Amino acid sequence: MVTGAGSGIGRSVAAALSEAGWSLALAGRRADALEETAVLAGGPCLTVPTDVTSPAEVAALFEAVRERYGRVDLLFNNAGTFGPGGVPFEDLTYEAWRSVVDVNLTGAFLCAQAAFRAMKEQRPQGGRIINNGSISAHVPRPHSAPYTSTKHALTGLTKSLSLDGRPYRIACGQIDIGNAATRMTEAMQQGILQANGALAVEPVMDAADVARTVVHMAALPLEANVQFATVMATNMPYIGRG
């Protein structure tokens, strides 16, 4: 299952997983975008329009997957939002904060919990959850408190799932991504605020490079796990002084 599958990294990962032989369940807010991803992916696809912030819709998503495929072997927990960009911390509204937390953290929790339950109950038991973290799970950008906070929290969720999943053959890892070329990162190619207050164009990488890494993580036997992986544009300002 891939959440946030209607565009960007989710779409690229879905296509790569399909090429690798996986049967897919695609979740996202927009039915038309999911259908476009299904056409691109080719192989067996179930599309389920889903708001990951809704417990009822997440429950319905996993029920549909079990009815179609009988089990859940992989969740790429990918749905997310940057939220309002460029808003100083002191000017953030409660609604803006809550909207990012609901999608990035609560949505990830709901999907991971549903996957965990399915993987624990099914026979043979087990499966893998891959959480989409971010470079922001390590260091923030200016004016990014909601997004950065949720990505740091997602790292804690990944570690907890790894520990709690041990008795049930449930592996959990996290991929931290930096500057994949998607609609969400278009601003980086025009010039984006840096820590020193300057605007700078940042390099990006093809989202397919992320997808190949997810496929590798997914293909491992459950006795092995990539706990954390960082995939980033080589020259982006992350290491050292940039």
Q: Which of 69, 94, 147, 238 is catalytic?
A: 147
Residues 114 and 127: their CA atoms lie apart, in Å, by: 12
Task: Kindly list the strands in the beta sheet with 127-132, ordered across the sheet, starting from the edge strand earlier in the chain.
Answer: 45-49, 24-28, 2-3, 74-77, 127-132, 170-178, 228-232
Task: Show me where the domains of the chain are located.
Answer: 2-232
User: What's the confidence (pLDDT) of residue 241?
Assistant: 61
pLDDT over 70 for what percent of the chain?
99
CA 27 distance to own-chain centroid: 12
pLDDT of residue 228: 98
Confidence of residue 84 (pLDDT cuts 50, 70, 90): confident
Q: 147 catalytic, yes or no?
A: yes
- Residue 181: what pLDDT? 83
Q: Write out the H or E segment, with its range, that includes residue 177.
A: strand 170-178
3-state helix, strand, coil in the chain (%, to 5): 50, 15, 35
* Residue among 164, 135, 129, 147 at smallest CA distance from 229: 135
Whether the ω angle into residue 49 lies within 30 degrees of 0, i.e. cis, is no
Q: Which residues pair with 172 in a beta bridge?
A: 129
Query: Which is higher by pLDDT, 43 or 154?
Result: 154
In this predicted structure, the answer to whether residue 242 has a pLDDT above a threshold of 60 is: no
Residue, of 186 and 192, whose pLDDT is higher = 192
Is residue 188 very low, low, confident or very high in pLDDT (cuts 50, 70, 90)? confident
Does the pLDDT of residue 239 top 90, yes or no?
A: no
pLDDT confidence band for 110 (50 / 70 / 90): very high
pLDDT in tens, 146-174: 999 999 999 999 999 999 999 999 999 99
Q: Which residues contact 91 (CB under 8 A, 6 or more apart)?
A: none
What CA–CA distance (Å, rounded) separates 53 from 141? 25
**What does the pLDDT look like over 204-221, one tens digit per residue?**
999 999 999 999 999 999
Q: What is the pLDDT of residue 164?
A: 98
Specify the fold of 2-232.
Rossmann fold (3.40.50)
Looking at every residue in the chain, the average pLDDT score rounds to: 94
pTM above 0.75, yes or no: yes
pLDDT band at 182 (very low <50, low <70, confident <90, very high): confident
